[in-house]
Each structure stands twice: as C-alpha cells, then as structure tokens.
Chains A and B, each alone.
Chain A
Amino acid sequence: MDFADSPTEAEFRARLRAWLETNNPGLPASSTDDEYWRGQAAWHHALYDAGFFALSWPEAIGGHGLPATFDAIVDDELAAAGAPPRPSLGYLVHGILEHGSEDVARRFLPGIVNGRDRWCQGFSEPDAGSDLASLRTRADLDGDSYVVTGHKVWTSYSDDADWCMVLARTDHIVAKHKGISAFALPMDQPGVARRPLRMINGITKEFGEVHFDGARVPVENMIGAPGEGWRLAMTVVSHEREPGELGYVARYRKVVNELVAQVRGRPGAFDAEQVRELGWAIVESEMLRLHVCRRLCDRLDGIVHRPDGSIDKLLMTEVEQQVGHAALSVGGAGHQGMHDTWRNVYLYSRAQSVMGGTSQIQRNLVAQRILGLPTA
C-alpha cells in the first residue's frame, strides 16, 4: 500500500510539471465560463500533442497504454499549476471500445482521443431523463442508412460537435430496454438542428438541444449490434460517474487553491463561517483525490464494472457542491458585479447532482445493488 510515485511515475510527473511551466493557457475552471469552452479544443490538442492525454487508453487509438494511476498524476499537476482540467471524454472512449466493432473503433476513436473530432452524447430526451429507456427518438432503416427522427436535450457540447453518439429506437416491438441502438451520427447535415441552452450560471457553450428530422446515419456507423444501445449506454454512464475518468479532481482543487490564496492574503476579511466552508472544501477535495487513487489502483489488474460508480458519483457531487458553497461563501454572490467566477462556480455545482444520473437514482442503485436491500 503506497501512495508515493514509482520512479517511472516520478519521472513522468517531473516532465509534466516542466511542460506546464510554459504551456499553461490559464483558462478559467471548466464549465464556469464560456471562455473556457472557447479555449478548450486548443488545450486538448496541446495536452495530447505533448503526450499528456489519453494515458490509460490503448496505443492503437492514440493512447499510451499506461496504468490508470497516471491520470491521477495529471490531475495533481494540473491543479497545482492552476491549469485547466483534462478533457472529460473517457466515457465515450470506453463505450466505443467495449461495444463498437474493430472497424468502428478504428474509424472514430483516434479522432475523439486526439481532439480533432468533437463529439456530443445524445442520450436524454424531454420525456426520457432518469427513465432513459423510455426514449422515443427513432432510427428507421432506409437502404444503406438509418433515418433518425427525435429530440435530444441536455446534450453537452452539441453546438460544436462534429459527431453525436445518439441512442435511438430501432425495434418498437421488443421490451423498451432491448429496442435501442447506438450510432455515430454526423452533425453537419440538413436533418440536424441544434440550439444552445443557457445554463443557470449564464454559460451557453456547454448545454444544448438537438432536433433530428430525417437526419441520416450510414448503417456501418452503428456502434455495437442492433439492440445493444442500452448496454452501451450503461457502460457509458458508469464511466461518466467516475471522477477518475472525468478528471474533475483537478477542477475542484484548482478552485480550492484559488480560494485559499484569496483568504490567506487577507485573513482578517473573512468570518468564521466563511473560513469553515473553505476548510470543508479543502477536506472534501482532498478526500476525492485520495478516493480516486484508491479506485484507479483497483483497476491495475483491469477494469471490472461494479455498481461502485454510484458511490463515487455521490462523493463527487458532495465535493463539487461543497466547493461551490465555499466559492459562494468566500467569493460572494457578486452583487457588485465582481467575483462572477465564484458565483458561477457555485451555480454550476447544482448540476452535478443531476447530470450523469440524479443523486436519487444513484442512491437507489447503492441501496439495491450494493447493500442488497429489497425492491418495493
């Protein structure tokens, strides 16, 4: 049991630290500012091109084939340098790796990994949120392509996406979980209409909705077999619930470090309650860092899908919302138009208990699948 770096890890850490000294773009913490999203693609390319992204993914798709623990080192160093977090798209990569054919993986994964192709995830619909399997978007076979019709919402990055991993119903007779298939759908075509959604903190570059009206997707772009869409979705959301996959530890610690610097510089200007909120944000973000180390090490012998991701999602939510409360408390709500960043960090944190499966759904899963409590 050892939290310390091995010699290889230490060498990697030193190299990354040196690179960050001259390559930190100084973007704001992700998702709290449109400026972040404007610079995000360039940051992805820079990280990837320098060899500091896609560390634990297979070399065949542009990764480095390293143990997942290297991701924890990246998060440590990004936070310490005040650099933006790494792009969060491991869930797409794992979904395609596990369910897509070799051909699909070869055609799509390198572009996702190196950041040259932008992807969004078309899962949720207006009437299919927590009850995702009730989705109504349909894909009907017409010659050598499927014709997709439906409405996706709460779709992250849909505005800039080149591709959408879309879930659509291909079989209307079988049980609702079994009639869903997944596709890699090209977004630049007449049958796709997208509209940004403004989040409660005012940002417009993250959230969106997409209307598919006769959009076409070639049959060879189906990811997995017909009817495998639900299983793929479960793989994707299980990775989407893992803070180690998302790299969010770096995002939280960057905010905490900035708040600490603010309070340290003016100790008399903050009351006990503000300092207490900051203290909890320090403790919580450190807890998540260590919890991620534990989980990533559990993967050293290979990924095993367990319902533990729901525990991790709930811990991550607790951390993000505590960091949000510290930002609000220390930074203020910004009544004078100052500190907008902190207010926006706070407002954005409310989404964490909804996105990727609500906290209520996660608690159901923990109670039933881990604690083994009976269902009603």
Chain B
Amino acid sequence: MDVRLSPEQQALRDAAARVVDQLGPHTVAQLGDGERSKKLDAAVQAAGWRELRVEGDDGRPWASGVETAIVAEELGRGLADAAFVGPTLGAELRRLAGAPAATSSETVVLDASLTDLARTDSASDDLAGALAIDTAGSSDGLIGMPDGKIGKVPVEPSSADVDLTRPSARVISGAIAEPLAGAKRSLGADPHRKWIALGLALTCADLVGVMRGTVALATAYAAERRQYGVPVGSFQAVQHLLADALVATEGAASVMLHAAWAVDALAPVDALAAGSTAKAYCARAARAVCETSIQVHGGIGNTWECLAHVYLRRALLSIDAFGGVGPSLARVLEHHGIVGADGLR
C-alpha cells in the first residue's frame, strides 16, 4: 500500500491547479466573462483531460479513476465553468460499450432521480424529468436504450440551473435516440456498476474541490474582515466553524481518493460500494462546509456577489448527481446485506 500521489499525479494536479487559478472565475462578475470561459474551455480541451477515460491502445482507459478525480477536484476548487465530469462520463460509457470516441462534445443524461443513467424505455414522465449534466458546449447526451444499448439524443439548455458554473439540459421533447454507431456491446450489469462508481468518484472529487475552495475563501475573509477592532477570524466561535469545515474536508478527501482508486482496481460491486461510502460522506460534508462558508461571510455571504453561494450551488448539483446522502447510504447498507432500507432514499 502506498496511497501517496505519484510524481506524475502531483504534476497533473499542479497543471490543473494552474489552469483554474489563471482562467477560472475569481468573482461572480467574472462568470459572465465569455472570453475568459472560452479560454478556460480551450485550455481544458488542449490538455486532453476530457479524454482521460477514452480507450487507449491496450483497451484500458488512458488514465485511471485517480487521475480523473485529481482533475475533477481541481476544477471544482476553482469553480471551473468548463465541462469535465459530463464529457468524461460520456467517454467512459462509449468505452464500456466498445464504441469509438466521440467526435463532438457530448455529455450524459441522468434519470429524473439523478441517480442513474436515463433510459428511453422508461415511462415518458421520467424522461421529461431527465437531466443532461455539465453540458457546456454539448448539444447531445448519451442515454440508455432497451437491451442495455447506449444511444445518443439531442438536448436543449434548461432554463433553471442551480449550478451557475455547469449548465444542465433537457432531452428535446419528442427527440428520438439513435443507438451509438459502432458500439460492440450493450452495457452489462458489471460495466454499469463501474460506470456509476466513476460517476460517484468524480462527483465526490468535485465536492472535495468545492470544499477546499470555499474553506480557503472563508478563511481569507475571516482573516481580513474586522469587527470590534479585530479580525473576526480571531474569535474562537468563528475559528471552530472553520476548523470543523477543514476537518470534514480532509475526511472527505480520504474516502474520495479510495473511491477513485476503486473504480479500476476493485470488482465492480466493491467499486460501487466504495463510491457510495464516499458519496454519503462527501455529500453531507459538502453541504455543511458550504453553509459554514456562507455563515462566516455574514451578510456579504447572503448576497449574489459573494462566491460562497456559487460553491454551494455547484455542490448541490454534485451532491444530487448519482445520488446524495439517502441513496448512497441505502447502497452502502445493501452492500452489507441490509436490504429494504428504501426509506432512506
């Protein structure tokens, strides 16, 4: 066992950190700067990060779940408004189906509960509630079809995004899904579990990044904001809020790393359990940490101009995608042979 990042993994982390620190939004106003976000998107594209799960020469993905999570974490920390998790999960789905890599940007469509891939053969009500996530630059989403086939369906922007950094989209009403050209196989139960495990690991990584970002934001604010003639960060009540936020972030980072490693290293059923364990912990921690950041920012934290709510909103999408606390706890309990915990969902 050696769970330290390798020098290459550290270099990848540094590279991703540099890109978001230079090109990510540092203020709410910068979210509307199209020039900046285009440059960020171009940098992510040029780095090849969206192709990490594309099939390499040996049939395996170019990079493991760990490298993929490293990038996701840094993009979350920097509130990157360039697509990553969606297209990465699309690439994984294509690889698992034995289909050639995408030639244009595409993402994945989740079912109305957001816990699994949407399926065209489910009730029409469900498809109306289905959501394509992380759709910046994509007009297509991958979706499940009868017999485990993977299809592609056109999507259109949704009007009510919770996350201000990663737009979602709806399946265009009446659109017909086309089976993926060149797919060699349908998605069996184990590859399906593996795909969800990757979705869990990447949403956890995004949440860990979000937590790191918002703890840094709130800590800097507490050190600088003065009341009663002293920085508010010198008050024990404020210090303890931030200490708890950092502790939760570190616990989350430990479970997330294991989930990211498990994607490729463990049997699919165990990878799914590792991902669910991590997601339950990260989902609960992320909401609490983002709320703490808003609290530490006081009145400012409750205004649109403060980045604290941008972190919280990003967390709300990553929490729900592939299931938050309830569905994750239920999956963990099922893995331990405790079934019928559906009341938790």
Contact yes or no, B219 A363, CB < 8 A: no
CB <8 Å contact, B231 and A275? no
**Complex: A287 Cα to B255 Cα, angstroms:** 5
How far in angstroms is the closest Cβ of chain B from A242?
Answer: 13
The reply to whether A272 and B343 contact each other, CB–CB distance below 8 Å, is yes
Q: How far is the CA of A371 from the CA of B220 in the complex (A)?
A: 9
Partner of B3, one of A263, A280, A293: A293
Find A311's partner among B1, B222, B247 (CB 8 Å cutoff): B247
Q: Is the CB of B234 within 8 A of A373?
A: yes
Contact A291 B336 (CB under 8 A): no
Given contacts A1-B9, A282-B277, contact A294 B336 (CB under 8 A): no
Whether the Cβ atoms of A374 and B243 lie closer than 8 Å is: no
Q: Which residue of A lies closest to B230 (CB)?
A: A376
Nearest chain B CB to A365 CB, angstrom units: 8
- Is A199 in the interface zone, CB < 8 Å from B? no
What is the minimal beta-carbon distance from B225 to any residue of chain A, in angstroms? Answer: 11
Q: How far apart sit A372 and B188, CA to CA, in the bound complex (Å)?
A: 50
Chain A residues 254-302 with CB under 8 Å of chain B are 260, 263-264, 267, 272, 275-276, 278-280, 282-284, 286-288, 290-291, 293-294, 297-298, 300
* B-side contacts of A363, CB under 8 Å: 239-240, 243-244
A47 interface residue per 8 A CB criterion: no
A264 to B236, CA, bound (A): 44
Determine how close the nearest CB of chain B comes to the CB of A77; give it in whole angstroms. Answer: 14
Q: Is B340 an interface residue (CB 8 A)?
A: yes
Q: Which residues of A contact B2 (CB under 8 A)?
A: 1-2, 69, 297, 300
The residue that A315 contacts in the complex, of B222, B223, B251, with Cβ under 8 A, is: B251
Chain B: minimal CB distance from A84 (Å): 22
Given A373-B219, A373-B234, A4 contacting B1 (CB threshold 8 A)? yes
- Give residues of chain A (321-376) contacting chain B, Cβ–Cβ below 8 Å: 360, 362-364, 366-368, 370-376
Residues on the B chain within 8 Å of A373, using CB: 219, 222-223, 231, 233-234, 238-239, 242
Contact across chains for B333 and A3 when beta carbons are under 8 A apart: no
B1 touching A293 by the CB < 8 A rule?
yes
Expressed in whole angstroms, the Cα–Cα distance for A348 and B231 within the complex equals 38
Q: Is the CB of A314 within 8 A of B247?
A: yes
Q: Evaluate contact between B247 and A298: CB separation under 8 angstroms.
A: no
Q: What residues of chain B lie closer than 8 Å to A297, measured between beta carbons? A: 1-4
CB of A366 within 8 A of CB of B255, answer: no
CA A6 to CA B244, docked complex, whole Å:
35
Residue of A nearest to B253 (CB): A294
Determine the distance from Cα of A297 to Cα of B253 in the docked complex, in whole angstroms. Answer: 15
Task: Knowing A279-B329, A279-B332, A363-B239 are in contact, say whether A371-B246 is a contact too (CB < 8 A).
Answer: yes
The number of residues on chain A lying at the interface, defined by a beta carbon within 8 Å of a beta carbon of chain B, is 51
| Stretch among B105-113, B125-133, B257-265, B311-319 lining the A interface | B257-265
The residue in chain B whose Cβ has the minimal distance to the Cβ of A256 is B336
- The one of A5, A69, A282, A300 in contact with B333, judged by C-beta atoms closer than 8 angstroms, is A282
* Distance of A288 Cα from B329 Cα, bound (Å): 17
Question: Is A9 in contact with chain B by the CB < 8 A criterion?
Answer: yes
Q: Looking at B5, B66, B233, B251, which has the most chain A CB atoms within 10 Å of its CB?
A: B251
Number of A-B residue pairs with CB-CB distance less than 8 Å in the complex they form: 161
A264 to B340, CA, bound (A): 11
Residues of A within 8 A of B3 (CB): 1-3, 293-294, 297
Q: Which residues of B contact A73 (CB under 8 A)?
A: 1
Q: Does A72 contact B (CB under 8 A)?
A: yes
Chain B residues whose C-beta falls within 8 Å of the C-beta of A367 in the assembled complex: 233, 236, 239-240, 242-243
B1 touches A375 (CB 8 A): no
Residues of A within 8 A of B281 (CB): 283-284, 287
Least distance between B273 CB and chain A CB atoms (Å): 9
Q: Which residues of A contact B253 (CB under 8 A)?
A: 294
* Cβ of B344 under 8 Å from chain A: yes
Per the bound structure, the CA–CA distance linking A44 and B7 in Å amounts to 40
Within 8 Å CB of A370, what residues of B? 246
Contact with A along B296-336 (1 / 0, CB 8 A): 00000000000000000000000000000000011011001
- The docked-state distance in angstroms from the alpha carbon of A374 to that of B227 is 13
A286 pairs with B255, CB closer than 8 A: yes
Asked if B254 and A290 sit within 8 Å, CB to CB, the answer is: yes
* Residue pair B223, A311 in contact (C-beta under 8 Å): no
Decide yes or no whether B104 CB sits under 8 A from chain A.
Answer: no
Considering the chains assembled together, what is the distance between the CA atoms of A370 and B246 in angstroms? 9
Q: Which residues of A contact B222 (CB under 8 A)?
A: 373
Asked if A376 meets B339 with Cβ closer than 8 Å, knowing A311-B246, A371-B242, the reply is: no
B59 contacts across to A, CB distance below 8 A = none
Residue-wise interface mask of A (171-190) relative to B, using a CB-CB cutoff of 8 A (1 in contact, 0 not): 00000000000000000000
Q: Please state if B254 and A291 are interface contacts (CB–CB under 8 Å).
A: yes
B101: min CB distance to chain A, Å: 25
Name A374's contact: one of B223, B251, B257, B332 (CB within 8 Å).
B223
Cα(A286)–Cα(B341), bound, Å = 19
1/0 contact string of A67-95 vs chain B (CB within 8 Å): 00100110000000000000000000000
Minimal Cβ-Cβ distance residue in B for A5: B1
Docked-complex contact B280 and A366, CB < 8 angstroms:
no
- B333 close to A275 (CB less than 8 A): yes
Closest to A265 in B: B337
| Closest B residue, CB atoms, query A314 | B247
Lowest 9 A-B CB distances belong to which pairs?
Answer: A367-B239, A366-B243, A291-B254, A272-B343, A363-B243, A279-B329, A373-B233, A363-B240, A374-B234
Q: Can you offer 13 A-B residue contacts whose CB atoms are under 8 A?
A: A2-B1, A4-B1, A260-B338, A263-B338, A278-B333, A279-B333, A283-B255, A283-B277, A364-B239, A367-B242, A371-B243, A374-B231, A374-B233
Q: Which residues of A contact B (CB under 8 A)?
A: 1-6, 9, 69, 72-73, 260, 263-264, 267, 272, 275-276, 278-280, 282-284, 286-288, 290-291, 293-294, 297-298, 300, 311, 314-315, 318, 360, 362-364, 366-368, 370-376
